Amino acid sequence: MKILIVGSGGREHAIAWKIAENDYVEKIYVAPGNGGTQVEEKCENINITDINELVAFAEDNCIDLTIVGPEVPLVDGIVDTFKEKNLKIFGPSKYAAQLEGSKVFAKEFAEKYGIKSAKYKEFTDRKKAIQYIQRSNFPLVIKADGLAAGKGVIICENEEEAIEAVNTLMVLDVFHGAGLKIIIEEFLEGVEASILSITDGKTIIPFISSKDHKQIFDNDKGPNTGGMGVIAPNFYCSDEILKEFEENLMNPTLKGIKEEKMDFVGTIFFGLMITKKGVYLLEYNVRMGDPETQAVLSLMESDYLDLMIKAVEGRLNECSVKWKEKHACCVNGVSEGYPGNYKKGHEINGIEKSKSKVFICGAELQEGKLKTTGGRVLSVVALGDNLEEARANAYEDLSNINFEGMHYRKDIGIKKEF
Q: What is the pLDDT of residues 133-168, one digit of tens each?
A: 999 999 999 999 998 877 788 999 999 999 999 999
Helix/strand/coil for 331: strand
pLDDT of residue 416: 82
- pLDDT score at 34: 98
pLDDT tens-digit map of 234-262: 999 999 999 999 999 999 999 999 999 99
pLDDT surpasses 80 at 15: yes
Q: Return the sign of the alpha-carbon dihedral for residues 383, 320, 100, 239.
A: negative
Residue burial 137-156, b: 16+ Cβ < 10 Å; e: rest: eeebbbbbbbbbebbbbbbb
- What is the H or E stretch that residue 413 is in? none
Return the SS3 of 38.
Answer: helix
pLDDT tens, residue by residue, 210-234: 999 999 999 999 988 989 999 999 9
Helical packing angle, 159-170 and 126-134, nearest 10°: 170
pLDDT value for 418:
67
**pLDDT mean over 299-308:** 98
Which pLDDT does position 341 carry in this prediction? 94
> 2-94 belongs to which CATH class?
alpha beta
Give me the chain's average pLDDT, please.
Answer: 96
pLDDT at 72 over 80: yes
Please give the distance of CA 347 from its chain centroid, rounded to a whole number.
Answer: 26
Q: What is the pLDDT of residue 259?
A: 98
pLDDT at 37 over 80: yes
Predicted confidence (pLDDT) at residue 417 exceeds the cutoff of 80: no
Instruction: Inform me whether the pLDDT recorded for 274 exceeds 90.
Output: yes
CATH of 119-186 given 3.30.1490.20, 3.90.1150.10, 3.10.129.10, 3.40.50.300: 3.30.1490.20
Q: What pTM was estimated for this model as a whole?
A: 0.95
Alpha-carbon dihedral 212, 412, 148, 140, rounded to 10 degrees:
80
**How do the domains of the chain map onto residue ranges?**
2-94, 119-186
